[in-house]
Amino acid sequence: MLLSEIAARLGCTVAGNSDPEIHSLSGMEQASAGQLTFLANPKYAHKVKNSAASAIIAAQESAFLPTLISSNPYLDFARALELFYQPPRMPAGVSPLAYVSASAEIGEGASIAPFCYVGDGVKIGANATLHAHVVIYAGAQIGDDFLAHSHSVVREFCRIGNRVTLQNNAVVGGDGFGFAKRADGTHHKIVQSGITVVEDDVEIQSLTNIDRATMGETRVQRGAKVDSLVQVGHACVVGEDNIICSQVGLAGSTILKKSVLLAGQVGVSGHLTIHDNAVVYAQSGVGHDVDQGTIVSGSPAFDFREWRRAVTAFPKLGEMVRTLRDLEARVKTMEGNKSSDELQD
């Protein structure tokens, strides 16, 4: 496509004296002739002059490359990718090698690959795609435009909204981790009688578990995006438009409000609330409620500004301790000399 054609599709304007032909997109440092790149963070602007790309998406005109002027370069780069690449789509229909219960209801335009299992009483909306080895347990209710990649699982009676994507090996509604201890020290499993509810426009990535509740429900609200290797415990609420990065663990009954961001490897103890627009930096341990709009870091997590000051001091603690001991020794020596002088007087 010509750069001007891409601009028209995206609603952007073109700046520069040429209209190059674009065949694909790439990052700035990897791009070559015929490729479109982007600049989202101004601190990397110095790299543009060395890029071999034929054009760039940026907020301002570049002196070095023809530019698609965009108010959101990263978003428009993502939209431009869709013009050049669409993942393969399976043909509509149910493979004869899949098992679909006679009592299941499958919407129009669905594609169900070989070796899928769809249990009794399941309802799946229009245009669903189930790749090979997807398992939908009995009684699950799923909306339109559902996309489930291989080996993903939706457990019994769970509810999923429209336009939900499950990446490979995601599990919705696995048993919550609940056991009662007997007098002899052994453990009695607590039946996990609740469900998991996933609302519209949610994506759950590979090897992530959203546990069902002991009673009631675990809920992932509209627009939330949950990365790979995340554990959401029973009766948690993941709020609207949350971003939950890889290797996060939420203990049971954690509540995340709207637009919360948890960076990688955050651990959250249960029965607490992280409020709207809060950010938790990577590898933090949260053991208390987090106020709206605040940024915390560390373990235990506290205000990120204080945390940065503390982190700066950590490498110096050994030297500070040695200095403190030296000062203590000097003070004791001075006090001893003073006492001797007083005795002589």
Structure tokens at 169: 């090996």
Helix (H, G, I), strand (E, B), or coil: what is residue 322? helix
Question: Beta partners for 37?
Answer: 56
Helices 3-10, 73-84: inter-axial angle, 10-degree rounding: 110
Amino acid at site 125: G
* Contact (CB, 8 A) for 301 and 283: no
Separation of alpha carbons 38 and 66, rounded Å:
11
Exactly one of 133, 149, 151, 234 is catalytic; which is it? 234
Widest pairwise Cα distance in the chain: 108
Tell me whether residue 149 is one of the annotated catalytic residues. no
Rg of the chain on CA atoms, in Å? 28
- Which one, of 171, 173, 158, 165, lies nearest residue 144 by Cα? 165
Separation of alpha carbons 3 and 7, rounded Å:
6
Separation of alpha carbons 132 and 237, rounded Å:
30
Burial state string for 92-117 with b = 16 or more CB within 10 A and e = fewer than 16: eebbeebebeeebebbeebbbbeebb
Contacts of 118 (CB under 8 A, 6+ apart): 98, 99, 100, 101, 104, 106, 112, 124, 130, 136
Amino acid at site 56: I
Amino acid at site 61: E
Contacts of 41 (CB under 8 A, 6+ apart): none
Q: Which residues are catalytic?
A: 234
